[in-house]
Structure 1
Amino acid sequence: MTDNQRENFGPRLKEIRLAKKMTLHEFYGVISKHVNNFSPIENGARSIGKRLSEDVIRHYHINEAWLATGLGNMFTDDELNTATLANRYDSTEGVPFININPSEICSGEFNILREKPEYYVNFRPFNDCDAYLPVYGDSMYPKYASGEIIAVREVINKDIIQWGEAYLIIADEYANNITTVKLLFEHDSNSKIVLRASNPNYKGDTILDRNAIKKLFLVKGKITRNQL
Structure 2
Amino acid sequence: MTPNERVKFLLGKLGFNTQKDFADSINIKSGSLSDILRKRVGVSSAIKDRLALIHHVSKLWLETGEGPVFNEQPTRPVTEKEGIPYYDIDIEELASENLQMMEREPIYYVNYKPFNDCSAYLPVFGNSMHPAYSAGDIIAVKEIWNRDVLVWGEAYLIITNKKANDLRCIRFLQEHPDPAKVILRSCNAAHGQDVTIDRDSIAALYIIKGKITRNLI
1:128 aligned counterpart, secondary structure: coil
2:178 to 164, 183, 189: 189
Matched residue, 1:170: 159
- 1:131 aligned residue: 120
Q: Distance in 2 between matches of 1:128 and 1:218?
A: 12
Going from structure 1 to structure 2, the CA distance change for 1:77 and 1:208 (only over 3 Å counts) comes to closer
Amino acid at match of 1:179: R
- TM-score (ref. length: structure 2): 0.64
Shift of 1:110: 4.4
Instruction: Report if aligned partners of 1:107, 1:177 keep a CA contact under 8 Å in 2.
Output: no
Of 26, 30, 43, which residue of structure 2 is paired with 1:80?
Answer: 26
Alpha-carbon distance between aligned partners in 2 of 1:99 and 1:172, rounded to the nearest angstrom? 23
Deviation at 1:78, TM superposition (A): 6.5
TM-score, length-normalised on structure 1?
0.61
Q: 1:78 to 1:200 in 2, by over 3 A?
A: closer
Q: Distance in 1 between matches of 2:176 and 2:99?
A: 28
Q: Which deviates further from its counterpart, 78-87 or 187-196?
A: 78-87
Map Cα deviations across residues 118-137 of structure 1 (whole Å, 9 max, x no partner).
00000011011010000000
Mean Cα deviation higher: 176-185 or 105-114: 105-114
Please give the secondary structure, in 1, of the residue aligned with 2:102: helix
Instruction: Say which of 132, 135, 150 aligns to 1:143.
Output: 132
Instruction: Give SS of 1:125's match.
Output: helix
Percent of matched pairs sharing the same residue? 43
2-side partners of 1:178 and 1:199: how far apart? 17
Unaligned 5+ segments in structure 1 are 1-75
8 A contact 1:130–1:151 mirrored in 2: yes
- Distance in 2 separating the partners of 1:118 and 1:97: 6
Aligned residue type for 1:100: I
Secondary structure of residue in 2 paired with 1:91: coil
Tell me the residue number matched to 2:110: 121
Amino acid at match of 1:226: N
Local SS of the residue matching 1:226: helix
Distance of 1:200 and 1:129 partners within structure 2: 29
Q: Size of the alignment, in residue pairs?
A: 152
- Quickly say closer, same or farther: Cα 1:123–1:205, change in 2 above 3 A: same
SS at 2:191's partner residue? coil
Which residue of 217, 223, 226 maps to 2:206?
217
Alpha-carbon contact 1:94-1:127 (below 8 Å) kept: yes
Distance 1:206 1:78, change over 3 A: closer
Does structure 1 residue 93 correspond to structure 2 residue 39? Answer: no
Distance 2:98 2:115 in 1: 26
Question: What residue identity is the alignment partner of 1:204?
Answer: Q
Deviation at 1:141, TM superposition (A): 0.7
Question: One-letter code of the match for 2:136?
Answer: G
Unaligned 5+ runs, structure 2? 1-21, 28-48, 55-75
CA-CA distance at 1:91 after TM superposition: 1.3
1:180 is matched with which residue: 158, 169, 183? Answer: 169
CA RMSD of aligned residues (A): 2.5
